[in-house]
Homo-oligomer: A and B are copies of this chain.
């Protein structure tokens, strides 16, 4: 039996690009997810395992980050035109396709950002013979800051490989719950707690996620007198600086690989000291 390969294509999907473009006044933050796909003279890889023409999908990934480093991103459309033009320079490529998707992009502050909107307000009430307990909260409030965040001078031992960082991206998807010492206007209190936490996040000079968590909890307790206790959990959604040296470029703290896993998870509970 003969077999024909009637169509083939390959590429790299879900290349998660984070870029910070800095000016004196403000930082622009781009979080995109990019897919690339090529068609062309690749049949021998399928039929014979001959890969000489095959541009590895890892090479495609490198190309995305390298071009992101070379100039302003502009728009997903402009960046897509740039990338597909690059891939068409390979003689074995007859068609290059690009898909871009903006994950985060709205600025809420000169260098702090509130994210992609799957935040939900939560609430738990329990009643028994001792009375009622009300716990209010929020889930999944994505926040990032591109300035004023360090992570250094932490424990050093044989398992540590991470270097100190003076200026890193801090990104987290916040979960918080809090209780009250007395009934309040629940809707108003929710807005006040949320606002206090966001303001503390943006304005705080962070020496670590733990440090920022504490500042946010402290701000919430200060903002709403009826707040008795607050618990915050902050997954540390790492944005890892891309190593551009093997690609002949310097990374001026601007091009990052966004990752979901593994992630740090920092928790803390604060209450008013009587």
Contacts and interface: CB of A to CB of B under 8 A. Distances in A.
B269 A8 contact: yes
Contacts of A103: 120
Interface string A106-130: 0000000000111111111111110
Contacts of A236: 57
A80 B134 contact: yes
Given A6-B271, A77-B136, 10 more contacts: A4-B273, A6-B270, A7-B268, A10-B210, A10-B267, A13-B261, A49-B210, A81-B125, A81-B132, A99-B124
Interface stretch (A19-27, A166-174, A216-224): A216-224
A203 interface: no
B160 A123 contact: no
A207 B44 CA distance: 11
Chain A contact residues, majority secondary structure: mixed
Contact of A210 (B46, B88, B123, B231): B46
Interface residues of A, number: 128
Contacts of A159: 55, 59, 62-63, 66, 247
A118 B118 contact: yes
Interface in A28-72: 35, 37, 42, 45-59, 61-63, 66
A181 interface: no
Nearest to A269: B7
A58 B136 contact: no
Contacts of A66: 159
A125 B80 contact: yes
Contacts of A116: 117-118, 120
Given A47-B214, A97-B125, A272-B3, A262 B52 contact: no
Contact of A46 (B132, B211, B235, B271): B211
